[in-house]
Structure 1
Amino acid sequence: MDTQQDVIAVLVTDHREVEQMFSKLEHMKGDISEEAKTLAEQVVIELVRHSVAEEEYLYPAVREHVPGGDKTADHEIAEHAEAEETMKRLEGLEPRDADFWPTTDLLIKQIRHHLQEEENDLFPRLREACPPEQLVELGNKVQRAKKLAPTRPHPSAPDTPPANKLLAPGAGLVDRIRDALTGRGRS
């Protein structure tokens, strides 16, 4: 059952889903269709939801449990901020724009680097340092946070608690309403 997955399993599942979307985008490179735009929108939606949930729950746990966790969390949050700027640029582009595919490539490169760091370094360190029942509790919190999280990049929004936990649900509601009205991310 999904609600019993630990935080690492939840996040690795997200990583695999995003990687599948990246592969599809890479096979579409140069395509100027609405399908390419929709897939890029879906990637951004998933990445924003994932990042917000990590910033709300994963990185505070890293700070608390992992030796050197403050430095690690700060590094991961900085990578999120960099990718969020790229997502914001991508959001304003169409596949026919000269910058669309180079910006997509940059985002894929940034995210793959980030995912590799998390899976090869951060997650093993967290699993070693944090009690299993707390990892499951964090998994449940991350899943709930993703449902309420924004779906659009907000580079100027706070990325650490408590401000991010207070503002993200409201921004998420506004984003989901905008997405419903515009059809963003739907094929």
Structure 2
Amino acid sequence: MATQRIESTADVIDFLLEQHNRIRQLFAETTDAVTPQEREQKFFELRRLLAVHETAEEEIVHPRARRELDNGDAVVDARLHEEHEAKKALSELDEMDVSTPEFVAKLAALRDAVLNHAGHEESEEFKQLRTQLDQNELDRMRKVVEFAEKTAPTRPHPGVESAPANMFAGPFVAVLDRVKDAISKPQH
């Protein structure tokens, strides 16, 4: 099962908010999965969406917020720190057996951190970008974010949280990630 594409005519902010909602839903579906196979499938989808979503934000949204917001450097630096910590936790989870109690506990901790992070983005970054940018810019950014997601790594890479780092490492690790995904994709 491929990662669910979110199709709409929404601008970049609405698009990212829709993805935040899908991430919340996937955390719940992963936690509530009845069988290890179902949990593995849901986690595969969650991991993939988190990886491409964060890469696109790091390449497109955060640099724009850094330039446009009065306190852009502080806001973005805090989000990048949160993203780095989430990538480390997601990498650890990716190596674990999904049927263990430890996986479930670490998944719950990651969920709390990611949802807290999403709340900060929504209230501190997205809200201000919506007031600072006109509708045409927000619409154009949506297209660029979608393109960035199509070429983004599908696994977490802690330490690659800046736009230059993503641009440099991204294409190479994206190819490797997609090969790994094809080989290790959960069967259902």
Q: Quick check: TM above 0.5?
A: yes
Counterparts of residues 54-73 of structure 1 (less than 5 Å): 54-73=57-76
* Partner AA of 2:174 in structure 1: G
8 Å CA contact retained: 1:3, 1:139: no
8 A contact 1:25–1:40 mirrored in 2: yes
CA contact (8 A) 2:56 2:152 kept: yes
Gaps of 5+ in 2: 1-6
Q: Deviations over 1:139-185 (max 9, x none)?
A: 111101111111111113x321223113212211111111112225x
Percent of paired sites with the same residue:
27
What is aligned with 1:161? 163
User: Is the contact between residue 25 and residue 39 of structure 1 (CA under 8 Å) also seen in structure 2?
Assistant: yes
Structure 1 residue corresponding to 2:12, chosen from 7, 14, 22: 7
Q: Contact 2:87 / 2:156 at 8 angstroms: preserved in 1? A: yes
The Cα of 1:6 is off from its aligned counterpart by 1.7
Q: 1 CA distance for matches of 2:99 and 2:21?
A: 28
Distance in 2 (alpha carbons) for counterparts of 1:93 and 1:32: 16
Length-normalised TM-score, structure 2 = 0.90
| Number of residue equivalences | 183
**Consecutive unaligned residues in structure 1, runs of 5 or more:** none
Q: Deviations over 1:97-128 (max 9, x none)?
A: 34211111011101111111122232111111
Q: Is it true that 1:173 corresponds to 2:175 in the alignment?
A: yes
Structure 1 runs of 4+ with >3 Å offset? 2-5
Compute the RMSD of aligned alpha carbons. Answer: 1.9
What corresponds to 2:137 in structure 1? 134
SS at match of 1:13: helix
Whole-angstrom CA distance in 1 between matches of 2:30 and 2:104: 9
